[in-house]
Amino acid sequence: MSGSLRIRAARLVGVERRDPVDIGIAGGRIFGLEPSAAGRPKRAADEELDAEGLLVAPGYIDLQINGAAGRDLTADPSSIWDVGAAIVRYGVTAFLPTIVTSPRETVEAARAAVLAGPPAGYLGAVPLGLHVEGPFISPERAGAHDPRLIRDPDPAFAAEWRPDGGVRIVTLAPERPGALEMIQELVGRGVVVSIGHTAATAGQARAAFDAGATAVTHLFNAMPGLDHRQPGPVGAALADPRVTVGLIADGLHVDPLVVGLAWRLAGPGRVSAVTDAIAALGRPPGRYPLGTVEVVVDASSARLADGRLAGSLLTLDRAIRNLRAFTGASIADAIGAVTTTPARLLGLAATHGELRPGVAADVVLLTRDLEVVATFVGGQPADRAGSAGEG
């Protein structure tokens, strides 16, 4: 579809106004929001979509996804576009392809894939830059990362990592030699630094936050637990209003009760729901790659041979519904965990994460039960899964 689009009579998520609205889209951006009313003159549009009875939300942003549709982003960085095309059905319009601990050549291949841009005719979620998860992590908390590839922070290894060079988030362990200097350098270039896969104490985590780190990768997982005498990185993060915490809200990585506690402590606006999904997302049980390791997948989980969790099978729309169930969050706050919160963390609030004139026309239409009906990326219909009818 080219030209303009009018989405008619949808109900906005997360605003006080409850009346249906019409959303005007042209040139890949939203140009107008106005009350929808019978008898109101229609603005001319090349296409009109009747969304009566549906909710409308900003497009979802996944800050941590390793693969989907049988494709692993670390094993094959060129599959970024295949993964992006696969995840729009879950409401995802933007994502950070995540590269786990790897040789430098792998990260460089992934950077090149992002910077080369999409293939002709691409209709899928847009990569906003990489999430480079490792290799500057703790061997003690490697999780599913290949311990043979872990190393101390190395400025030469990360010399080209910056947003305009294809890297948005770097996960590292702040207790590693040279980590604080690396945090300061990356943050100075505009990269978001997240602590994770770490054995850090609370003091070491606080030092990382003081150096400029502003996030934690999959809170509770691959790090010391919260102890009343040794609060560790979990306690330091939850207590620090500067820090956004990523949570894998699948009910396996973090117990629902603990998800609820973290939500109460951090509050809406500091929790970013992520999937940490692997290549098995959308595929049957079997064996799938995660970087250089093999993951065994059954109907509900992805695990290493020793039984440890290794990524997830979670979709981002399911994560929102789980947040609602685990925390009692409002629809607006739960959706904010995959829209406004990640956009703000990335410094992209001016263009993503909200529905208002001037922002990217990344839009999701939802049922009242938060099932995805249709996804639009830049105003283009990337996926229409359900019953929205065209007028």
63 close to 246: Cβ distance less than 8 angstroms:
yes
The Cα–Cα gap between 226 and 289 comes to 31
Residues 6+ apart with CB under 8 A from 359: 29, 30, 58, 350, 351, 352, 353
Structure confidence at residue 15 (pLDDT): 55
pTM of the model: 0.95
Arithmetic mean of pLDDT, 127-142: 98
In tens, the pLDDT along 227-270 reads 999 999 999 999 999 999 999 999 999 999 999 999 999 989 99
Arithmetic mean of pLDDT, 340-349: 98
Lowest mean pLDDT among 46-50, 167-171, 361-365: 46-50
What are the structural domains of the chain? 5-57+353-390 (2.30.40.10), 60-345 (3.20.20.140)
Print the SS3 string covering 215-248: EECCCCCCCCCCCCCCCHHHHHHHCCCCCEEEEE
pLDDT above 90 for 32:
no
Structure confidence at residue 117 (pLDDT): 97
Structure confidence at residue 10 (pLDDT): 87
pLDDT above 50 for 328:
yes
Catalytic residue among 276, 317, 333, 383: 276
194: which 2 tokens? 């997240």
Structure confidence at residue 390 (pLDDT): 35
Q: Which residue has the higher pLDDT, 46 or 342?
A: 342
Arithmetic mean of pLDDT, 164-193: 98
Arithmetic mean of pLDDT, 110-128: 97
Is 276 an active-site residue? yes
* Percentage of the chain lying above the pLDDT 70 cut: 94
Structure confidence at residue 35 (pLDDT): 83
The Cα–Cα gap between 66 and 20 comes to 37
Mean pLDDT of the chain: 93
> For residue 72, what are the β-bridge partners?
67
What's the N-to-C CA distance of the chain in angstroms? 15
